[in-house]
Structure 1
Amino acid sequence: MIPFQNTWPYEQLMNDIYIHECPFCGQENVLLPMKPKELQEIHEGKKKLLVFPCCSHRVTLVDTDRDYLLASEPLRGNR
């Protein structure tokens, strides 16, 4: 079972990946340094180190679906 606290919702607009709010610093409308192709690669098993551009916090993404990013550590309840 996937731990819900390790997930965070994202949006894809054209070729950009956004999150509405950073789970670590609270910055709104953060453009992630990722491309849609990487979402599919992560879903197929490739891990990705994601560095949030707003606060430089680092997490490893281990899976994705059409709505959520799944990290190797909790993303919810960090602030």
Structure 2
Amino acid sequence: MIPFQNTWPYDIIMGDIYVQTCPFCAKNNILIPMKPEELQVIHEGKKKLLVFPCCNNKINIIDVDTDYLLSDQPIR
């Protein structure tokens, strides 16, 4: 069972990945520095350090699905 508090929703819009709000500073519509091609690599088992450009806070992404990023720490 995936812990819901370790997930964060994302959207792909015109080839870019956005989160509606930053889990740390609560800014809206954040373009995250990842490409949609990286999502498949992460889903296959590679971890990714994601640094939010708005506040420079970091999370490790350990898995993804079509709607959520899964982190190794609680972000909700």
Structures share a fold, TM > 0.5? yes
Alignment length, in residue pairs? 76
Is residue 2:42 matched to residue 1:42? yes
* 2:5 paired with 1:5: yes
Matches of 2:20 and 2:58 in 1, distance apart? 17
**Distance (Å, rounded) in 2 between the aligned partners of 1:9 and 1:46:** 19
**Hey, what does 2:19 align to over in structure 1?**
19
- The structure 1 segments of at least 4 consecutive aligned residues displaced by more than 6 Å after TM superposition are none
- TM-score with structure 2 setting the length: 0.98
Gapped regions of structure 1 (runs ≥ 5): none
Looking at structure 1, the residues matched to 14 and 42 of structure 2 have their Cα atoms a distance apart, in angstroms, of 19
How much identity, in percent, do the aligned residues show? 64
Unaligned regions of 5+ residues in structure 2, if any?
A: none
C-alpha distance in structure 2 between counterparts of 1:10 and 1:75, whole Å: 13
TM-score by length of 1: 0.94
Secondary structure of the structure 2 residue equivalent to 1:61 = strand
Q: How much is the aligned-residue C-alpha RMSD, in angstroms? A: 0.5
| 1:48 CA displacement | 0.1
Residues 40-74 of structure 1 deviation map (CA, whole Å, 9 limit, x = unaligned): 11001000000000000011000000000000101
Alpha-carbon shift at residue 14 of structure 1 (Å): 1.8
